């Protein structure tokens, strides 16, 4: 209510600025806007264009954003404005309306190399600039550092601006004299983990612009990176027939963990596998006995009503249903990506258990069915259980990749060959 008066000044100012703008040309985003998201006056050819721009300083956070941080950001730009243009100082800070635009992103996490849909919603506008940046505290516009990912398939009236020598990380409009509105962009995440990120847009309408930010998106570690497999990680994966070697995302079954034990009190394991139906479980087991899995330590992960669950079991031998192990293993993180279930869990390094650098065991990898009526985890027959080529200790890095048909032990191969021969003869 006390804002009425500044509001009045504001409209007077807008008119004045509008006159200034029509005299000096139009505002546009360009590579001059790379770090501050401020549209510049393109026709006057100098850097002063920003002084004609009205900065409201409102920024919108998603549901996760707090008023406190919103205020801080507003304040920050309020101050900046005071420095830049004394005559309208304070207006930026006092303006309290929600910006008329919103930037929304599909999902709350981003995966390596995967796409997200980024949408600018609201009424129509004249100009737009969008970037994705690594979150650095409260500082939304940390100067240029941390631009991340690439935009792809730009709508027709948009182009890239090569900010900070990154050719595909910033999108601006082409400056056509048309009304833009409700645009979407496809953004592809980088190949590596980049921590928390968010999208920032500056939306220009007339002589006003709004800087809006998306929810913070955290990194989704799945599918895991296989980059360090064989050097600092132990990895095993089963590739589909005809796709060898496959990526982690393509694998039918995959298991990995870091082998660097120094300064660590636990090992973090990741198990991933295809779900054939809603009763599939995926499992890894460690044991001494190659043929019957006698006393193998088994960890199983499965999906129940959209959430992953993990259980620790002991296989007495393949003929018996596995028993519940007395040591609980907690699921740390999980993800479902299409038909792929990812489960991450930790186990303490303990010389009195199998989880220690010295014990050498065979690794078994398999998936099976849950029988909700009778015996919970039905163990598959031996020929459907993949196993490591050798006994492994947990400090040994390896990278074992097998083909979906060739997992099987040599006996199976020969019976397969026999079968093929018989088929051929008929």
Ligand X SMILES: *[C@@H]1O[C@H](CO)[C@@H](O)[C@H](O)[C@H]1NC(C)=O
Token pair listed for 386? 């993949």
Comparing CB distances to ligand X, the nearer of 331 and 397 is: 397
Stretch in the footprint of ligand X (CB under 6 A) among 23-31, 49-57, 211-219, 393-401: 393-401
Token pair listed for 219? 């990194």
Are 231 and 360 within 8 A, CB to CB?
no
- Distance separating alpha carbons of residues 149 and 166, to the nearest angstrom: 9
- Distance separating alpha carbons of residues 375 and 109, to the nearest angstrom: 36
Comparing CB distances to ligand X, the nearer of 278 and 414 is: 278
* Min dist. Cβ of residue 102 to ligand X (A): 10
Q: Which residue is nearest to ligand X (CB)?
A: 181
Comparing CB distances to ligand X, the nearer of 168 and 398 is: 398
Instruction: Verify binding: residue 155, ligand X, rule CB under 6 A.
Output: no
* Min dist. Cβ of residue 268 to ligand X (A): 19
Instruction: Verify binding: residue 384, ligand X, rule CB under 6 A.
Output: no
Per CB under 6 A, the list member of 86, 262, 358, 423 interacting with ligand X is: 358
The alpha carbon torsion through 409, 413, 414, 418 (nearest 10 deg) reads: 150
Are 395 and 229 within 8 A, CB to CB?
no
Comparing CB distances to ligand X, the nearer of 128 and 298 is: 128
State the binding string over 396-415 for ligand X (x if CB under 6 A, else -): x-------------------
Instruction: Verify binding: residue 231, ligand X, rule CB under 6 A.
Output: no
Are 33 and 53 within 8 A, CB to CB?
no
- Distance separating alpha carbons of residues 110 and 165, to the nearest angstrom: 23
- How many residues are listed for the chain in this entry? 426
E strand spans, 250-361: 253-258, 266-274, 280-287, 296-304, 307-315, 323-324, 331-337, 340-348
Per CB under 6 A, the list member of 7, 45, 123, 167 interacting with ligand X is: 123
Instruction: Verify binding: residue 295, ligand X, rule CB under 6 A.
Output: no
Stretch in the footprint of ligand X (CB under 6 A) among 62-70, 77-85, 120-128, 265-273: 120-128
- Residues forming the site for ligand X (CB under 6 A): 121, 123-124, 181-182, 278, 357-358, 393, 395-396
């Amino acid at each position: 209510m006390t804002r009425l008066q500044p509001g009045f000044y504001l409209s007077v100012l807008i008119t004045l600025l509008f006159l200034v703008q029509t005299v000096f040309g139009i505002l546009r985003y360009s590579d001059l806007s790379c770090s501050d998201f401020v549209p510049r006056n393109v026709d006057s050819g100098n850097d002063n264009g920003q002084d004609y721009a009205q900065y409201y300083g409102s920024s919108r956070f998603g549901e996760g954003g707090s008023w406190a941080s919103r205020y801080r950001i507003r304040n920050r730009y309020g101050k900046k404005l005071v420095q830049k243009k004394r005559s309208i100082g304070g207006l930026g800070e006092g303006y309290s309306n929600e910006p008329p635009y919103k930037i929304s992103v599909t999902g709350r996490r981003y995966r390596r190399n995967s796409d997200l849909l980024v949408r600018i919603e609201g009424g129509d506008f004249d100009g737009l600039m969008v970037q994705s940046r690594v979150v650095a505290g409260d500082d939304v516009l940390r100067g240029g550092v941390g631009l991340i990912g690439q935009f792809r398939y730009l709508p027709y009236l948009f182009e890239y601006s090569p900010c900070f020598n990154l050719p595909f990380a910033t999108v601006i409009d082409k400056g056509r004299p048309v009304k833009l509105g409700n645009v979407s962009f496809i953004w592809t995440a980088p190949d590596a983990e980049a921590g928390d990120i968010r999208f920032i847009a500056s939306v220009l309408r007339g002589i006003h612009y709004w800087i809006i930010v998306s929810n913070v998106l955290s990194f989704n570690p799945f599918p895991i990176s296989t980059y360090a497999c064989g050097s600092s990680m132990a990895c095993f994966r089963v590739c589909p027939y005809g796709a060898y070697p496959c990526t982690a995302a393509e694998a039918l079954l995959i298991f990995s963990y870091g082998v660097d034990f120094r300064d660590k009190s636990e090992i973090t394991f990741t198990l991933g596998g295809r779900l054939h139906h809603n009763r599939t479980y995926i499992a890894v087991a460690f044991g001494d006995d190659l043929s019957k899995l006698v006393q193998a330590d088994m960890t199983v992960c499965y999906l129940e009503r959209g959430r992953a669950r993990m259980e620790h079991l002991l296989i007495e031998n393949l003929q018996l249903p596995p028993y519940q192990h007395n040591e609980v293993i907690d699921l740390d993180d999980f993800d479902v990506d299409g038909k792929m279930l990812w489960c991450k869990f930790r186990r303490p390094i303990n010389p009195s258990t199998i989880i220690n650098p010295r014990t050498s065991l065979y690794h078994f990898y398999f998936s099976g069915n849950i029988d909700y009526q009778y015996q919970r985890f039905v163990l598959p027959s031996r020929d459907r259980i993949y196993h490591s080529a050798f006994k492994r200790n947990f400090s040994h890095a390896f990278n074992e990749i097998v083909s979906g048909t060739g997992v099987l032990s040599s006996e199976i191969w020969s019976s397969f060959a026999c079968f093929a021969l018989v088929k051929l003869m008929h």
